[in-house]
Structures are given as C-alpha cells and as structure tokens.
Chains A and B, each alone.
Chain A
C-alpha cells in the first residue's frame, strides 16, 4: 500500500516516497491606493448616478442662494406666467415662482429619501437579525412582515397617512413602515446563509460570544446587500413621497415638494404643462441617479447579488 502514499505526494517515479517540494509562497503585491480613474472607468454608473445625486444635494443645501425667491410668496397678478427671464420655470396659478419651489422641493425629496433609506435599513437590519438568529421569533416576525408586504406599499402609506395629519415626519414614518418588510426579509435571508458559513463555526470554536459574532461576523457581511437595497429604497421613497403629496395626503401644501407642485399643476397641465414638467424632470432625474448608483454599487460590491435582488 505504499502506492497510496505515493499518490499523496504526487510522485509518479518508482521507488521510495518522495516528499513534495515546498513551493514558494507568492503573494500578489499590495494594491496601490488612489486608483480613482480606473474605478470611474470600471463603474460608470456609480460616477453618473453619484454625480447627479451630488448635484441634487448641493441644490438642496444651497437652494436659498441660487437666485430663488420665497417659494411660498403669492403674487396673484403674475399667475401662470410662461418660463421667462423673470420666472425661469414660469409661475403657478397663485403666482409663485416654480423655479424656487422646485429647488426648495429638492430638500423634501432628498430628506424623505435619505431618512427612509436610513431608518428602514436600521430597523430592517435589527428585525432581520432577530428573525435570522432566533428560531422562535422567526415564524412570528416573518409572518407579520409577510402580512405587511401583502399590502402594496403605496396603499399602506396612504392608509397610515390617513391616520395622522400631513407632515414630513409622518410621511417618513409611513414610508419607512411600508419599506421595512423588504429589508428585513433580505437581511434574514443573508443571515440564514451566513449562519451556515464555516467561518461562523470557526468563530464559535474560537470562543466568541453570540453578540460579538453578530457584530463582527454577521453584520459586516450584510452591509453590501443592505447598502444596495438602501439605494433602491431611497429611490422608491422619493416616488412614494411624490405620490402621497400628489394625492394630497403627504407633505402639507405649505411646504413645496415635487409631488404637491405637480398636484397643483395637474388641473392646468394641458394649457400650462411647464408647471408639471419641471418638478417631474427633477424627480425622474433624481430617482434615475439613485437607481444608477444602486446598480453600480451592486456590481461593485458583489456581482453575485445581481441574482438575489
């Protein structure tokens, strides 16, 4: 049976067992930093999406300094003016400057989008971790989430808004509740597959306690899919906010948001299309940007996620 051990050492020659030569350990040289340009070339969607989004953030931050006037100032004598040097995007039926309203509306959309993305990710992560780790909680929690998911998010948000009065805070809360089930389902799935990974068993064998295992080994490995999901939530929250405002159950009319600008221009859209056009362009562009960013992140962080999401 020395034949068998020869197999182990790959020696094909006859005679005594030859020890396998120790092969040199060749490590690739450490990656030099600052490869910004090659990153941009490899991930154009991140650059384009991120660029547009950054522009929107700057607009939201510096809205008062970009040649805007008070977006709520009424001027009945100057109502429904066509776009001109005075009113860049025209004025609405109350004579308010649409350019100013659209720029200030960016604040609402981005605030809602980012807040919902952050809150839904954090809450969804917590629920997903509990469901993924505690078998007892899993059934109950996930059935509740399934129940929430069976209601279309927009209807759920409308129903929740009907229970309270219109305010940005309530809009954020309502959309967050509608988005949490999807996040928690995603996180639970990732946690369940991570739990079976040998490196988790390795950490258990290394004496690591459960809270540390969650913090060091589970949470960091859920962040990639969670980030991608968060960008999609951000985009869908912006649209949901616009829909709620359009239906008059979202942002109060006194605060300009893209949704309620469009809602107010709706009656006149056949004659004064620009009232609807400009907020619609901004909304589409922002949502497109966020989605591009999300796609780019997904490809950059983990190509295999493309199938999971």
Chain B
C-alpha cells in the first residue's frame, strides 16, 4: 500500500476539568486517548461509537479546530499537528468538513454565494468575480442544487438542501479528504439517503477520501470501505466493512451491531443489550475500558488493558477473549453465531 493520505498516530486529546477556584486541574477528561488510523486516497473510513466516545473530537483535532494533547497527524506525508497556524492555513484546502447540524453550519447573514466564495477566495482558486461566480455555479450543479440558490439566504432552504450547501462549501476548496461529522444524522430518512448517495457519487467522481463519523451503522454499512469502532476514547476494533459486519472480533462491536434494527419481522437475532452507561472518561476503568459493561469479561480484563492486534486479514481488535481457546471464545462464531 502506498503512502496513506491521512495518518493519525496515537492521538490524544485531554480536557482539563477545573474544580478548585484556584484554577488547578482536578482531572482530565480523556476524550481521545491514543487513537491511530490511516485513510488512503479515495477511501472511506467510518468512525463509529456511541455518543461521548470521542469520535467528533478526533474529527475536530484532525481539522485542527481544537488543539491536541499528544500524537501526530500526518497529511500526505507531512506532519501537520506541529505547524503554525499560518503555515497550516494553505493545507486546510485539502481537508474540509461537513457538520451535523445543517441549521447552524451556515452563517444566516450571508448569501449562499458569499459562503461558497469564501474558500475559493481564501485559497486563491479563482481570481476574478466572474470566475468565482462560475465556480460557484459548478459547485451548485455538483451538489444538485439549482443555480439561482446562490442569491438566497440559508433560511430559505430545507435541512437537506442546506446540507448540500455545506457539502458544496467543503468541495469549493477542492479537498482530498472530507470529514463528515455526523453529516447525515440530523436529516430524516429519505433526505439522509439522498445525501449519502450524493456523497458516494462525489467520492467516485472526485476521488475523495471520507472520514465518516457516525453512530448509524446502517448508513455506515451502505457507504464505507473500512470501519473503526471507538469506545471511551480508544479504537477497540478496526476492519474492512465485510469483516466487521460479518465477524466482529470485539464484544462492543458485536453489541453495536446487534442494536441495529432488523426490518424483517420474525428475523430477530441474538442481541447483546449493554447495561449501564459509558463510564466517565475522567476516570476510565482499570484494565479493559469495556470490562464494566462487557458480558464476557473475565479476570484478566479487569487488570490488563488489551492492545489492538491483528486478528485476520486487515482486522484488528483489542480484546483478551481471543487468547482463550476457540471453544471458550464466544466471539469465534461471527455475528450470527452465539
């Protein structure tokens, strides 16, 4: 495999929790605690997990919308996490973002053409007003919006249309990778399908890489190449789509998959219903972070933290169960197994 487009190595993002009035940190929320992944050109990596597991924080850190505590972010062979703001600004062209909420992601006071002109002008992609206008018209065509949309304000559009405008803004810079932070989660089902299809078409047409941050496994299965499952600030399993949906190797992945609704009545499958809430990331559990909710946890899980390790082709998971003999491993049989 050639050089990955985006590589994240051991990324950590801790937020200080101030309790005392003196301002001393009483602890740290370990929102992201050692996350590594790679995305190749034209590839979609989905980052999934329940709310609060740190997946959006990863997205923000990669985009440098927030500082990171430790780790490396490498874009196309160049380390970007230690660049100064002014050195990094030109590189922003290559990484764009689509946000979850289509209503707050567009400045309500700017016409669509002004919003779309911003990246074009900032990155010097078109010089004259006529060129910029032409480029905006092309972008609106690309996201399947009528061209006269450019003279309107965001409040004149529906949620799905605004999300298309958000995608157009991301495309305006001509990026190599778009980070979709829950980009379809706020949309209703039919609009969701349209936007997902649009993203897939764009990926094919433009060769975009996508970091698709989502909690919706049904959508993820529809569009992704690879999946990384996050739990409490760490990646617990990463694999290609086929492997992760057919034979998950981490009990958390298994639980997530079993929570996806099955539209056919009578076709119920084994469900793992997780009990309790996600433990506090200020004070994560000893040993495996999932041991407090894992139905298969045994003694070792409470003491020793499992590392990500290869389990099959391009599949990595962090779970001690795979050290047990196959007969005792509840996950050995795949998703329909137990």
Contacts and interface: CB of A to CB of B under 8 A. Distances in A.
Q: Which of A4, A198, A205, A220 has the most CB of B within 10 A?
A: A205
A8 B197 CA distance: 10
Nearest to B164: A25
Given A199-B106, A221-B107, A205 B95 contact: yes
Given A203-B107, A206-B119, A10 B260 contact: no
B79 interface: no
B27 interface: no
Contacts of B106: 199, 202
B262 A199 contact: no
Contacts of A204: 65, 92
Contacts of B261: 7
Interface in A10-36: 10, 12, 14, 19-20, 22-23, 25, 27-28, 30
A1 interface: yes
Contacts of A6: 263
A206 B190 contact: no
A115 B20 CA distance: 44
Given A20-B193, A25-B146, A5 B221 contact: yes
A206 B90 CA distance: 10
Residues of B in contact with A, size category: 35 or more
Interface in A177-203: 197-199, 201-203
B190 A10 contact: yes
Q: Which of B106, B108, B193 has the most CB of A within 10 A?
A: B193
Contacts of B108: 221
Contacts of A66: none
A211 interface: no
Contacts of A7: 189, 218, 260-261, 263
A3 B263 contact: yes
B169 A198 contact: no
Given A4-B260, A22-B194, A205-B97, A220 B104 contact: no
A284 interface: no
Nearest to A200: B107
A198 B109 CA distance: 14
A196 B92 CA distance: 19
A6 B218 CA distance: 8
A14 B169 CA distance: 38
B294 interface: no
B222 interface: yes
Interface string A106-135: 000000000000000000000000000000
B185 interface: no
B267 interface: yes
A9 interface: yes
A19 B223 CA distance: 13
Nearest to B191: A23
B219 interface: yes
A77 to B, nearest CB: 63
Given A27-B156, A216-B107, A20 B145 contact: no
B132 interface: no
B9 interface: no
Contact of B107 (A14, A22, A199): A199
Contact of B161 (A25, A197, A207): A25
B215 interface: no
B190 A8 contact: no
A201 B194 contact: no
B239 to A, nearest CB: 14
A23 B190 contact: yes
A206 B92 contact: yes
Contacts of B152: 27, 30
Contacts of B189: 7-8, 10
Given A205-B92, A206-B118, A198 B156 contact: no
A208 interface: yes
A4 B218 contact: yes
A301 to B, nearest CB: 11
Contacts of B63: 201, 205
A206 B122 contact: yes
Contacts of A197: 104-105
Interface in B97-152: 97, 99-101, 104-110, 114, 118-119, 122-123, 144-146, 148-149, 152
Interface in A23-80: 23, 25, 27-28, 30
Q: Which of A30, A201, A202, A208 has the most CB of B within 10 A?
A: A202
Contacts of A3: 260, 262-264, 267
Contact of A198 (B99, B172, B193): B99
B123 A207 contact: yes
A5 B107 contact: no
Given A27-B156, A201-B65, A205-B96, 17 more contacts: A4-B221, A7-B261, A14-B264, A20-B197, A25-B144, A25-B145, A25-B161, A198-B104, A201-B60, A202-B106, A202-B166, A204-B92, A216-B107, A216-B110, A216-B114, A221-B107, A221-B109
Interface of B: 60, 63, 65, 89-90, 92-93, 95-97, 99-101, 104-110, 114, 118-119, 122-123, 144-146, 148-149, 152, 156-157, 161, 166, 169-170, 172-173, 189-194, 196-197, 217-219, 221-222, 245-246, 257, 260-264, 267, 335
17 contacts: A1-B221, A1-B260, A4-B221, A6-B263, A7-B189, A7-B263, A10-B193, A27-B149, A27-B156, A27-B157, A197-B104, A202-B106, A203-B107, A206-B122, A207-B173, A216-B107, A221-B109
Interface of A: 1, 3-10, 12, 14, 19-20, 22-23, 25, 27-28, 30, 197-199, 201-209, 216-217, 220-221
